[in-house]
Amino acid sequence: MGSDASRQSRAAMPACQREASCGAMDDDCRHADMVIKAGTIHSMASAGEADARSYRAMAVRDRRIVALTADHDGADDLIGDGTVVVDDRGLTVLPTFDDTHTHLIFAGRAANDVQMADAKDLGEFLGLIRRRASSTPGGQWIRTASNWHELQLAERRMPTRQELDSVAPDNPVLVKRGGHNDLVNSAGLRLAGVTAQTQAPEGGVIERDAAGEPTGRFEDSAIALVEQLLPAPSFEEQVEGLRLASAGYAATGIGAIRDAAVNPGEVALLRAARDQDALAVRTQAMVIVGFAGPKPVMSEFLDVLEADGTRPGEGDEWLRMWGLKFVIDGGVENAALDQPYANRPDYRGELQWEVGELAEAAGLAVRKGWKVGVHAWGDHAVHATLDAFEAIVHDRPGTAPGTLVLEHAGLARPEQRARAVALGVPVTIQYPLLYGLSPALVEYWGRERTADIFPLREWLDEGAVLSAGSDYPNGKCDAMASVWGMTTRQSPVGVLGPGHAITRYEAARLHTADAARFAGDEQIRGTLALGMLADFAAYRADPLTCPIDELRGLRPVLTVVGGRPRHDPHGLVAGGTPPT
């Protein structure tokens, strides 16, 4: 913006409204919109082992930090009539966290589903459905989210159709587990019209009891028989889903996310959510190439994006097109490994793109200005991706570091890490994903390989550009549990590769300063410093010094993004102490 424009906006600014006695133009008014007086304010600005730069008071004006002081009362002269003051020495403040690989759109779709990820036994599971049924009109569908597994339940089994009937007699119920397994109650079965005579579609299973009657369970392609009955959400309902899901991120202290799988047609949904102020967190979008379908012709795919006005880097600090996403292998069950699967000696997983094919498609995107992130889980997938990246950089020697990114890089061996660092390829890692998948990983990949996933200590020591996320809803969305996991390497199957652990401060940096640097936003956020955007979260315990296990389930009591409260369950800002 030129100086003429800034002079204009200054002249148009009304006189200060915050205090009658203040005659300054609004732009020059010294009074803050908000002053936070806390026990500790961690800036996260030191790159070292601990936070050398911490404060006790912070002032915010026009979405930005205008004062930081070690003196608890040091920002008091910025308090005017309209200033919200939160004065509580029991609070510890940190920059909001980034979740650099997550799925807001998926979470939005499931925002109204019954959440089962925390259910510990069938009693809890069925109780959650009973509760939902009590507030749902009869005849209306009830659906569960899919990010849970029966092995998390004490009984280690799915509920039965009859058990679902007992808690929701008047509603059709669809229990989703993962992407391939559905269970409906009797009302759902009746609506689907599925009987003992119904044939399963090709590639699908309708489970039957001893008498040949359907049990309510459907697998693989047969799930379409029930899924088609649920009404598709309207555009407005989808925006509301994003509102709920993004508020869920803010409730864990997250202020910025990068959605790793946005279909080209969903960019409009994100824009609408931004325009309606429905995005509680800053969002970067990765447009996914060829998701759940055949690979597109890359030049045509890019033309369609351009025709929609979806361009590299387009957007603002609230919603921005980060780049494109490719998927070269799968997850637990079909990631491409160098050595055979532990439970299938004849199987090493598979690549979804050949190296040359990926280099050509991703290379074309890079030539058009796009950044590219490639999902690569197994060690074979990681070196195939690096082969493609090297070919792209060989063709375009000036390719900027950070243009090509490894998503996950679950198994990264020393020579692969060295290549990634030499190429300037950042890596996004997601400990909550490893935590949640670890029981299945041990079975499919064996314990040794599972313990080698996410070699954080090595990545950092070798100079990689690392940032952290959750892969929610595949992993749990819980910023502090992520820090806990990276520090302890704890999992449901015990400690995994303790030598790969990093310090708590390093882990918190992967979600703050390092993540903002990865996003190219290190000049405006990621640390708390003068002039930075006011993106911060306040906790009742100090996440950098509290007993480590307290981090699990530690939630902020206040999350502010862009100077506005996005999570304020106790009304700390709404009821901020007025000055005397």
- Stretch of 134-142, 257-265, 508-516, 542-550 contacting Zn ion, by CB under 5 A: 257-265
**Amino acid occupying residue 176:** K
Q: How many Cβ atoms are within 10 Å of 121's Cβ, its own excluded? A: 13
Q: For Zn ion, which is the closer residue by CB, 471 or 535?
A: 471
Q: For Zn ion, which is the closer residue by CB, 471 or 542?
A: 471
- Stretch of 212-220, 252-260, 319-327, 461-469 contacting Zn ion, by CB under 5 A: 252-260
- Between CA 321 and CA 443 the distance in angstroms is 38
Residue corresponding to tokens 């004849």: 346
The number of helix segments (H) and strand segments (E) in the chain equals: 18, 20
Q: For Zn ion, which is the closer residue by CB, 43 or 430?
A: 430
Does 104 help bind Zn ion (rule: CB under 5 A)?
A: no
Where does 229-372 have alpha helices with state H? 235-250, 267-275, 298-307, 355-367
The half-sphere exposure of 156 on its side-chain side, counting CA atoms within 13 A, is: 0
- Stretch of 167-175, 258-266, 278-286, 326-334 contacting Zn ion, by CB under 5 A: 258-266
In the complex, minimum distance from the CB of residue 43 to Zn ion, in angstroms, rounded to a whole number: 30
Q: For Zn ion, which is the closer residue by CB, 44 or 260?
A: 260
In the complex, minimum distance from the CB of residue 490 to Zn ion, in angstroms, rounded to a whole number: 22
Q: For Zn ion, which is the closer residue by CB, 416 or 470?
A: 470
Q: Which of 506, 521, 435, 425 minimizes the C-alpha distance to 470?
A: 435
In the complex, minimum distance from the CB of residue 508 to Zn ion, in angstroms, rounded to a whole number: 22
**Burial class, 363, CB count within 10 angstroms (exposed 0-12 / middle 13-18 / buried 19+):** buried
Q: Which residues lie below 8 Å from residue 297, measured CB to CB, with a gap of 6+?
A: none
Does 471 help bind Zn ion (rule: CB under 5 A)?
A: yes
In the complex, minimum distance from the CB of residue 566 to Zn ion, in angstroms, rounded to a whole number: 23
The answer to whether the beta carbons of residues 247 and 235 sit under 8 Å apart is: no
Does 381 help bind Zn ion (rule: CB under 5 A)?
A: no
Alpha-carbon distances of 503 from 48, 50, 232, 554, rounded to whole Å? 11, 9, 45, 18
Q: For Zn ion, which is the closer residue by CB, 104 or 260?
A: 260
Q: For Zn ion, which is the closer residue by CB, 125 or 435?
A: 435
- Stretch of 299-307, 396-404, 469-477, 494-502 contacting Zn ion, by CB under 5 A: 469-477
Q: For Zn ion, which is the closer residue by CB, 381 or 560?
A: 381
- Stretch of 260-268, 314-322, 376-384, 478-486 contacting Zn ion, by CB under 5 A: 260-268
Report the site for Zn ion in 302-361 (rule: CB under 5 A).
none
In the complex, minimum distance from the CB of residue 558 to Zn ion, in angstroms, rounded to a whole number: 29
**Burial class, 89, CB count within 10 angstroms (exposed 0-12 / middle 13-18 / buried 19+):** exposed
- Stretch of 255-263, 299-307, 379-387, 552-560 contacting Zn ion, by CB under 5 A: 255-263
- Stretch of 161-169, 326-334, 470-478, 536-544 contacting Zn ion, by CB under 5 A: 470-478
Q: For Zn ion, which is the closer residue by CB, 122 or 260?
A: 260
In the complex, minimum distance from the CB of residue 203 to Zn ion, in angstroms, rounded to a whole number: 25
Q: Which letter does DSSP use for residue 490 in this model?
A: -
Say how many residues touch Zn ion, by CB under 5 A. Answer: 2
Q: For Zn ion, which is the closer residue by CB, 110 or 260?
A: 260
In the complex, minimum distance from the CB of residue 41 to Zn ion, in angstroms, rounded to a whole number: 32
In the complex, minimum distance from the CB of residue 179 to Zn ion, in angstroms, rounded to a whole number: 13
User: Which three-class secondary structure state does DSSP give residue 261?
Assistant: strand
Q: For Zn ion, which is the closer residue by CB, 291 or 347?
A: 291
In the complex, minimum distance from the CB of residue 469 to Zn ion, in angstroms, rounded to a whole number: 8
User: Which three-class secondary structure state does DSSP give residue 390?
Assistant: helix
Q: Which letter does DSSP use for residue 14 in this model?
A: P
What x/- string results for residues 384 through 413 when contact with Zn ion is judged by CB under 5 A?
A: ------------------------------
In the complex, minimum distance from the CB of residue 433 to Zn ion, in angstroms, rounded to a whole number: 8
Q: Which residues lie below 8 Å from residue 359, measured CB to CB, with a gap of 6+?
A: 387, 388, 389, 391, 392
Alpha-carbon distances of 66 from 11, 374, 528, rounded to whole Å? 21, 39, 10
Report the site for Zn ion in 419-458 (rule: CB under 5 A).
none
Residue 374, phi then psi, degrees to nearest 5: -120, 120
- Between CA 549 and CA 121 the distance in angstroms is 23
- Between CA 129 and CA 114 the distance in angstroms is 7
Among 187, 260, 384, 434, binds Zn ion (CB under 5 A): 260
Using CB under 5 A as the criterion, which residues of the chain lie in contact with Zn ion when the complex forms? 260, 471
